[in-house]
Amino acid sequence: MHKLFTLSWHVTDSFSGSLLRDFLKRHHISRAALTDIKFKGGCIEVNGEKVNVLHILTIGDFVKVTFPPEYPSENLHKSPLPLDVIYEDDYLLVINKSAGMPSIPTREHLNDSLSNALLFYYEQNGIASTVHLVNRLDRDTSGLLIVAKYRHVHFLFSQAQEQRAIKRTYRALVHGTLSKKEGVIDAPIGRKNDSIIERMVRSDGQHAVTHYKVIQEYDGFSEVDLKLDTGRTHQIRVHMEYLGSPLLGDSLYGGNREKISRQALHSYKLTFFHPILQRELAFQSPLPEDMQRLVQQNRG
């Protein structure tokens, strides 16, 4: 039996006499979520009794919201693939994704994506939901990402992303040296006219901002930290090409594969405020073996 997702609160003095609808709104339960609860199998209770949103609250009331079960698309298949789970609670997962694994299925990778693996994991662990990726990584980019277990948690993270409250730091190995060792790349990104995959800096593109800092320089390449203000497709890869220092291994954006067979990019640090537990969480993931080997071989 799959356990349904619930949230609960005790009513404080400040909400005594309020409509339940207003109380739920203050606790970020969206209108869409209330509609789903009403028509798709959830319920709202006060002190164990089912009520509607016009119920008037009194101090000490116990409010419980049970969200309806979520079902994955029939086109999304579960696959028993290994998952590196860095952190898990009742609301979310932090995954350390390996290079070569797409975040979502594609025509070439129908059954070996992170989403396929998560669906199998959910079935094994009795999680009544579908996959909600808070952030994605390109197939050949490794590292940390957040998975919300439920639609409502994903909604809360979407709000956090709009406020730039999810901090992601990447480590990259890029060709050559950068004349400025620290800076901000503020350059809009859009599709290349002749490609459905490739992006480029273009004046009519979407706003995109990347902060970079050189950590170490080696023979022919540099180790760079990058932080994102925005999350455009291929943002770091496009911006580093724009600076004239494409990522090692990134043949799509001007890098070569002499030293590494994929773009040398790893999401190594992740910090965010937990929307349910109301506390900050921070995680780090060491460089994967292929990037670590390159750095060690070229030290000193």
Active site residues: 138
What is the rounded distance in angstroms from the CA atom of residue 21 to the CA atom of residue 105?
38
Q: DSSP E strands: which ranges in the chain?
A: 6-10, 43-46, 49-50, 62-66, 85-88, 92-97, 132-133, 142-148, 167-175, 182-186, 189-191, 199-201, 209-217, 221-228, 265-273, 280-284
Beta bridge partners of 73: none
Angle, CA of 281, 282 and 283, to the nearest 5°: 130
Question: 226 with 266: CB under 8 angstroms?
Answer: no
Question: 216 with 193: CB under 8 angstroms?
Answer: no
Beta bridge partners of 25: none
Beta bridge partners of 62: 10
Give the type of residue at 125: N
What is the rounded distance in angstroms from the CA atom of residue 187 to the CA atom of residue 185?
6
Q: How far apart are the first and last CA of the chain?
A: 58
Token pair 């016009």 is at which residue?
54
What is the rounded distance in angstroms from the CA atom of residue 201 to the CA atom of residue 175?
19
Beta bridge partners of 221: 175
